[in-house]
């Protein structure tokens, strides 16, 4: 297209992420406003948010406390450089966040996304081992079907083929544990499956293969999100922690999705009572209002890296221009107040039985082959059409949007994760719409 020929509504200029661009632009779906549990579509329809935006708007939309905090901060100080200079909100937020973390996860490194949080955690792991004289520990172990963002570090330790195949080799020295879920034995589990923890022992075999002295860290999502909502079997995460402790390997939990109340506790660390060495976070940190992420780090790791460097030297050569951005910090502090004042970290636990019953009411619906749930998350897996994986669920996505419901699909799984302010009536609405759509979906 010649220069200057674009018009304000030209859809071609924007290359959309994780989107079939040609398909979308032939029939665009536009959102123009959001408030509490609903979006407003460009045609004026109200669309119930069944996904908290993209797993991130945990406090709902347009919360005045958060909006006002962002506006006030923008007027007071729009930006402050994070290198060799500080601003009070960054330190206040770090203190607030470490107060809600268990154990000695007492330090926070701020990033701008989950992808950046993962790459940061991997770098911290390498720096830690080097600082303690074990620089040979440079390998990482992820897990099949793991999703850890789209940085080269994240796609390397991640286990989703579509996220990797266009980009060739990523980080060297990465291996992957097998996936833990078996539909034949775990299908239609309510909450954590009772069996399957023994597959964590595969990590022992991988340690033997690579030699513990070469492995820096193991990274897993405590609850698998983007691959289709898979819940860890009881005892599985505990066993990973035991094996990592035995061999001096760091354990990283990717809590970009599970953090900030999604599972009925502040973090999956609390839900599953397993404390890793590093925790990555983002999304719900400020309810998705301003891009922000974080990495929580245990005392021993921070102290080793910081105290192991010469006096006056930069201890970790890593950071971002927008680390601890003032607007993001203001939004996060306000969001933390909302979470606290409205008891949203435990609300998912209170609603979980109702949510679980509603999700499993779809068990006998046409095409449904599995339902998985925990907290305020559900995955409804549909049988795939021959040779067209994902097509059936995407059809449901389109029909749901037409009927005023936003869902997310991954492959042929419908993933649901609404704002934590959802009502029981809105839960009924979500699953009622899906049930009706499945009756007429081929």
Q: Where are the beta strands (DSSP E) in 126-263?
A: 139-143, 174-177, 215-220, 250-254
Of residues 3 and 401, more confidently modeled = 401
Q: What is the mean pLDDT of residues 305-331?
A: 97
Task: With a cut of 90, say whether residue 144 has pLDDT above it.
Answer: yes
pLDDT of residue 163: 87
pLDDT digit string, tens, across residues 235-261:
999 999 999 999 999 999 999 999 999
Q: pTM score, two decimals? A: 0.97
Rounded to whole angstroms, the Cα distance separating 292 from 214 reads 32
Helix axes 344-360, 326-341, angle to 10 degrees: 70
Q: Mean pLDDT throughout 116-128?
A: 98
Q: What is the mean pLDDT of the segment spanning 144-158? A: 96
pLDDT band at 291 (very low <50, low <70, confident <90, very high): very high
At residue 172, the pLDDT reads: 86
What mean pLDDT, rounded, does the chain reach? Answer: 96
Residue 333 CA to its chain's centroid (Å): 20
Per cent of the chain over pLDDT 70 is: 98
Please report the pLDDT score of residue 329 as a whole number: 98
Query: pLDDT-derived band of residue 1, with 50, 70 and 90 as boundaries?
Result: very low
Task: Tell me the pLDDT band of 289, cut-offs 50, 70 and 90.
Answer: very high
Rounded (10°) angle between helices 424-439 and 391-402: 120
Residue 392 has pLDDT above 70, yes or no: yes
| Torsion sign across C-alpha atoms 53, 55, 61, 66 | negative
Structural domains in the chain plus CATH codes = 21-59+343-439 (3.90.1150.10), 68-341 (3.40.640.10)
If one compares 166 and 379, the residue with the highest pLDDT of the two is 379
pLDDT at 4: 55
pLDDT in tens, 10-46: 899 999 999 999 999 999 999 999 999 999 999 999 9
Buried b (16+ CB within 10 A) or exposed e, 70-89: beebeeeeeeeebeeeebeb
Contact between 53 and 406 under an 8 Å Cβ cutoff? The reply is no
Q: Assess contact for 286 and 292: CB atoms under 8 A.
A: yes
Q: Which of 219, 227, 209, 167 is nearest to 409 (CA)?
A: 227
């Amino acid at each position: 297209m010649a220069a200057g020929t674009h018009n304000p509504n030209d859809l071609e200029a924007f290359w959309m992420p994780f989107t079939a661009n040609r398909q979308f632009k032939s029939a665009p779906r536009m959102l123009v406003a959001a408030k509490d549990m609903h979006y407003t579509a460009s045609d004026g329809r109200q669309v119930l948010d069944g996904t908290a935006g993209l797993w991130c708007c945990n406090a709902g939309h347009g919360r005045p406390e958060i909006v006002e905090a962002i506006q006030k901060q923008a007027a007071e100080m729009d930006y402050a450089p994070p290198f060799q200079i500080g601003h009070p909100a960054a330190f206040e937020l770090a203190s607030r966040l470490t107060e809600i973390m268990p154990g000695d996860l007492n330090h926070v490194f701020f990033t701008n996304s989950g992808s950046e949080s993962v790459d940061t955690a991997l770098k911290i792991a390498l720096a830690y081992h080097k600082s303690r004289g074990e620089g040979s520990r440079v390998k990482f172990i992820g897990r099949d079907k793991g999703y850890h963002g789209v940085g080269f570090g994240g796609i390397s330790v991640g286990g989703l083929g579509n996220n990797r195949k266009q980009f060739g080799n990523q980080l060297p020295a990465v291996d992957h544990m097998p996936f833990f879920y078996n539909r034949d034995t775990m299908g239609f589990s309510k909450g954590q499956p009772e069996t399957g923890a023994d597959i964590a022992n595969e990590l022992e075999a991988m340690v033997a293969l690579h030699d513990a002295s070469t492995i820096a860290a193991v990274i897993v999502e405590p609850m698998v999100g983007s691959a289709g909502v898979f819940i860890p079997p009881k005892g599985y995460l505990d066993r990973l922690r035991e094996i990592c402790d035995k061999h001096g390997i760091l354990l990283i939990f990717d809590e970009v999705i599970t953090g900030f109340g999604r599972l009925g506790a502040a973090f999956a660390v609390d839900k599953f009572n397993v404390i890793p060495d590093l925790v990555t976070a983002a999304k719900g940190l400020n309810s998705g209002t301003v891009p922000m992420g974080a990495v929580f780090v245990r005392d021993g790791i921070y102290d080793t890296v910081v105290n192991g460097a010469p006096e006056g030297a930069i201890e970790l050569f890593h950071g971002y221009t927008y680390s601890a951005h003032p607007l993001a910090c203001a939004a996060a502090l306000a969001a933390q107040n909302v979470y606290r004042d409205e008891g949203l970290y435990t609300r998912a636990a209170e609603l979980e039985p109702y949510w679980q019953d509603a999700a499993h009411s779809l068990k006998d619906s046409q095409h449904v082959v599995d339902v998985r749930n925990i907290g305020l998350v559900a995955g409804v897996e549909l049988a795939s059409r021959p040779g067209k994986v994902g097509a059936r669920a995407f059809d449901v996505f389109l029909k749901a949007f037409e009927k005023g419901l936003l869902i997310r699909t991954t492959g042929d799984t419908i993933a649901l994760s609404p704002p934590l302010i959802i009502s029981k009536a809105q839960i009924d609405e979500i699953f009622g719409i899906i049930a009706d759509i499945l009756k007429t979906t081929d």
